């Protein structure tokens, strides 16, 4: 059962985890970064409470903490109640979602564990935009992708903005870094029985809809919006698939393109 | 050939169209709204110059106007050059894209014209979020949707934020309001030979992938993220299709779900 405590002052040291969030949510290797996992809003806080990340505390206005009372019944963490202005002074900006929770990071699963359990994987190269990465996790969760592997150049999925945009699904969809020399490291996926399919706008790639990826173990390689996958990553794939695109149109947002591809793999038909 | 003029002061009346953009880009029926079409950034300004909307002028820093010089060669509108600070004072905020263009609205195409030319339509109900509507236009453009019909409760696609998020595709993809009693008005689409397919998360709808919508004339009914389509709209459709979704996950963003459905209709396979 969470211990509900009222906090009167924004400089109360018990809420130091929430101080100056715009810098504190960075990774520990960045200036001011404490590398904590921060959840904003009732829906995402609920997902954090339900995740493997060790929750340290909650901070919220009473109405929002009330909404979470069932979720808090089974957890033994402090929940600090305060008013919206005190909260805004501590975190450094006004939150319209009214509740935050903070957790420590947790070790990522091993690649072997991920490969043993997954049928559908997304493998990202150079997805450095926090919001795109967050959206990609949301779409992966919705469309039944089992895990996400991070190649070089990807941003941190646990950055606060990614957590928010993902609606908390970065806390549910397993992810880990694909270590080793890139892109030779995708060989491990192939050895584990995955068809490695690169998503690319190239005209000479197979149309996604007729590539017959449904029903297989598939690892989808996804590159950043704009540059797309590197030539090396494209060459490392077994298959190259494209979403037929109208001429004169920029490529789709990477998370949107990923959703279309995820559905082609997991959506049946 | 555009006439390039240097503007020294932010209160120069020649740039009144750009003044206080955060309110001025609203529709004329809203307070402070002038209802002008505003394009931000080189890519979107280029799309505006290439659109049917009558461009009134451009305002930008010299470097951005230079980038547009080829595009401006064929148009007879004033292009006002100024520095970033003067621009920021006039529009009311700092633009990191460095160039704006303003156009008048243009009459929407008639429904008959749209129906005569289109094979794939999106029909929106209650898509009131400007960014979602903008993304939906971008996805429609990329995936070969011919036109968008706006049912009740949709926001204005020409609002500045929609224009920006769409990457200017609201200026290219034809759209018009679907007049008449909703949703009986979708009968006109059926009479024009379209299969009216409603996208819904309902478990009893057909899976999208096996619904066989490819190759047909299809009008896809799309509802807002969250509430989705009304029962009345669902009942007015010929078919109800769903994107299979993992349990415990919120629905996809409406523009993302639309992209998956657009691909199922236009992507072949």
pLDDT digit string (tens) for B8-29? 999 999 999 999 887 766 666 6
Q: Are A111 and A178 in contact (CB under 8 A)?
A: yes
* SS3 category, B178: coil
Residues B197 and B94 in one domain: no
Among A103, A128, A149, the domain boundary falls at A103
Residue B43 token pair? 């890519």
Question: Which residues have C-beta within 8 Å of that of residue A269, sequence separation ≥ 6?
Answer: A214, B207, B208, B209, B210
| CATH number of the domain to which B127 belongs | 3.40.1280.10
The 10s digit of each residue's pLDDT in B145-178 is: 999 999 999 999 999 999 999 999 999 999 999 9
Contacts of A268 in chain B (CB under 8 A): 207, 209-210, 244
C-alpha torsion sign, points A237, A241, A245, A247: positive
Question: Which residues have C-beta within 8 Å of that of residue A131, sequence separation ≥ 6?
Answer: A161, A162, A165
The 10s digit of each residue's pLDDT in B43-67 is: 999 999 999 999 999 999 999 999 9
Q: Does B268 touch chain A (CB under 8 A)?
A: yes
The 10s digit of each residue's pLDDT in B107-149 is: 999 999 999 999 999 999 999 999 999 999 999 999 999 999 9
CB-CB under 8 Å, A267 with B243:
yes
Contacts of B206 in chain A (CB under 8 A): none
Residues A97 and A128 in one domain: no
| pLDDT at B227 exceeding the cut of 90 | no
Q: Tell me the HSE value of B62 on the side-chain side, using a 13 A CA sphere.
A: 5
- Predicted pLDDT of residue B30: 61
The 10s digit of each residue's pLDDT in B171-224 is: 999 999 999 999 999 999 999 999 999 999 998 999 999 999 998 999 999 998
ipTM of this complex > 0.85? yes
Which of B174, B259, B264, B268 to probe the A interface (max A CBs under 10 A)? B259
Residue A10 token pair? 């924004």
Q: Are A71 and A99 in contact (CB under 8 A)?
A: no
CB-CB under 8 Å, B209 with A267:
yes
Question: Which residues have C-beta within 8 Å of that of residue A103, sequence separation ≥ 6?
Answer: A36, A37, A39, A48, A51, A53, A54, A55, A56
Buried b / exposed e over B182-197, threshold 16 CB at 10 Å, is bbebbebbeebebbbb
Instruction: Tell me how many domains chain B contains.
Output: 2
What does the pLDDT average to over B36-48?
A: 95
Residues forming a β-bridge with B102: B38, B57
Residues A43 and A144 in one domain: no
Cis peptide bond prior to B183, omega within 30° of 0: yes
Q: Does B247 touch chain A (CB under 8 A)?
A: no
Regarding predicted confidence, which is higher, B23 or B226? Answer: B226
Residues A98 and A211 in one domain: no
Q: Does A176 touch chain B (CB under 8 A)?
A: no
Contacts of B264 in chain A (CB under 8 A): 209, 263
Residues A231 and A184 in one domain: yes
- Predicted pLDDT of residue A102: 95
- Predicted pLDDT of residue A15: 95
Phi-psi map region of B2: left, alpha, beta (phi>0 left; psi -120 to 50 alpha):
beta
- Per-residue confidence of chain A (269 residues) as pLDDT tens digits? 678 899 999 999 999 999 988 776 666 666 556 789 999 999 999 999 999 999 999 999 999 999 999 999 988 999 999 999 999 999 998 887 899 999 999 999 999 999 999 999 999 999 999 999 999 999 999 999 999 999 999 999 999 999 999 999 999 999 999 999 999 999 999 999 999 999 999 989 999 999 999 989 999 999 988 789 999 999 999 999 999 998 877 779 999 999 999 999 998 75
Task: Compute the CA torsion angle B91, B94, B100, B103 (nearest 10 deg).
Answer: -30
CB-count burial class (<10 Å; 0-12, 13-18, 19+) for A235? exposed
Residues A145 and A201 in one domain: yes
- Predicted pLDDT of residue B247: 80
CB-count burial class (<10 Å; 0-12, 13-18, 19+) for A229? buried
- Predicted pLDDT of residue B33: 63
| CATH number of the domain to which A94 belongs | 3.30.1330.30
Nearest-angstrom CA–CA distance, B265 and B255: 15
Residues A153 and A259 in one domain: yes
Residues A116 and A234 in one domain: yes
CA angle B60, B22, B132 (to 5 degrees): 100
Residues A168 and A133 in one domain: yes
| pLDDT at B31 exceeding the cut of 60 | no
Radius of gyration of chain B (CA): 20
- Predicted pLDDT of residue B21: 83
**Full residue range of the structural domain in which residue B50 is found:** 3-103
Residue B67 token pair? 């980038």
Contacts of B266 in chain A (CB under 8 A): 244
Among B103, B122, B151, the domain boundary falls at B103
CB pairs A-B closer than 8 Å: 106
Residues A61 and A166 in one domain: no
Residues B116 and B247 in one domain: yes
Radius of gyration of chain A (CA): 20
Q: Tell me the HSE value of A207 on the side-chain side, using a 13 A CA sphere.
A: 11
* CA of residue A184 relative to chain centroid, distance: 24
Among A87, A103, A119, the domain boundary falls at A103
Residue A112 token pair? 């072997």
Residues B126 and B74 in one domain: no
């Amino acid at each position: 059962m969470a211990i509900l405590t009222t906090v009167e002052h924004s400089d109360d040291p018990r809420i130091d985890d929430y101080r100056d969030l715009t810098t504190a949510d960075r990774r520990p290797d960045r200036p001011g970064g404490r590398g904590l996992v921060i959840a904003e809003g009732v829906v995402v806080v609920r997902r954090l409470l339900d995740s493997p990340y060790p929750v340290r505390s909650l901070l919220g206005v009473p109405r929002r903490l009330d909404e979470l009372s069932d979720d808090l019944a089974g957890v033994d963490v402090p929940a600090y109640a305060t008013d919206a202005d005190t909260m805004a002074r501590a975190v450094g900006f006004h939150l319209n979602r009214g509740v935050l929770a903070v957790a420590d990071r947790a070790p990522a699963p091993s690649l072997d564990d991920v490969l043993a359990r997954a049928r559908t994987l997304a493998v990202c190269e150079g997805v450095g935009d926090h919001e795109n990465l967050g959206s990609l996790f949301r779409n992966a969760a919705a469309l039944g992708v089992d895990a996400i592997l991070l190649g070089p150049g990807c941003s941190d999925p646990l950055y606060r903005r990614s957590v928010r945009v993902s609606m908390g699904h970065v806390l549910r969809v397993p992810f880990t870094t694909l270590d080793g020399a890139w892109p030779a490291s995708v060989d491990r996926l192939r050895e584990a029985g995955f068809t490695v399919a690169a998503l690319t706008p190239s005209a000479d790639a197979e149309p996604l809809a007729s590539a017959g990826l449904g029903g297989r173990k598939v690892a989808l390689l996804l590159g950043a919006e704009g540059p797309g996958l590197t030539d090396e990553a494209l060459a490392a794939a077994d298959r190259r698939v494209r979403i037929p695109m109208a001429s004169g149109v920029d490529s789709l947002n990477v998370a949107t393109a990923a959703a279309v591809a995820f559905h082609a793999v997991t959506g049946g038909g």
